[in-house]
Amino acid sequence: MRKILAMALIYTALAGCGHSQIQYQPSDRNLDWNKAVSIIEQGFYEDYGAQKTQAVAVTSEAIILSDGTISNSVGISTASPIAGSALIVGTSTTKTVSAGQRIYLNSLADSMLMKRNGRDHRYAVIIRIKPGVTARSVFFRTEHQARKFLDALEYLKVAYSMAN
């Protein structure tokens, strides 16, 4: 009996974990291109998730994210004394790769607004490029900020489709 009660308690606790979807309808915010871009940039820069963005650029075609750079370096050197001084011969190879992502505006599907179960002030916007395919998750501390971000994302998507 204790085992069944313990299992029921564990299942109940686990059911409360995760995120729940909040219904979202775009609002009639007074947005223009520059304001929408500013909201998108701020949302990515203030994201507190594990995938921290270092740079954001929004073009008429895509949202370009850079998560930083990865550098690998190898160096070899030798020194030989010659007439009271040293001759150093060496080689060095450095490879730098930019780790980033492009989210194309023409690929954007409907994004989702989620709330963390059991935690206040934890919201996520799930950016989707196709139904069921997540491009990126951006985390916010208030529902208001998350909704502003979604409105700006929707504005960019509509502005792109009207221009093309």
Q: What is the pLDDT of residues 3-54, one digit of tens each?
A: 554 444 444 444 445 668 888 888 877 899 999 999 999 999 999 888 778 8
- Please report which helix (H) or strand (E) contains residue 161, including its range: helix 143-163
**127, β-bridge pairs:** 136
Gap between the Cα atoms of 110 and 26, Å rounded: 11
**Strand ranges inside 11-163, DSSP E:** 19-22, 55-58, 62-82, 85-104, 112-116, 123-130, 133-140
Contact of 19 with 124, CB cutoff 8 Å:
yes
Distance of CA 30 to the CA centre of its chain: 25
The closest of 32, 31, 46 to 146, measured between CA atoms, is 46
**Encoded tokens for 15:** 């059911």
Average pLDDT over residues 141-148: 94
Domain parsing of the chain, residue ranges? 16-66+105-163
pLDDT digits (tens, 9 = 90+) for 88-126: 666 666 655 565 899 999 999 999 999 987 677 889 999
Read off the DSSP letter of residue 107: G
Compute the half-sphere exposure of residue 112: CA atoms within 13 Å on the CB side of its CA: 18
Evaluate if pTM is beyond 0.85. no
Confidence band, pLDDT 50/70/90 cuts, at residue 75: low
Torsions phi, psi for 120 (to 5 deg): -85, 155
Asked if the model's pLDDT at residue 161 lies above 50, the reply is: yes
- Tell me if residue 4 falls in helix, strand or coil: helix
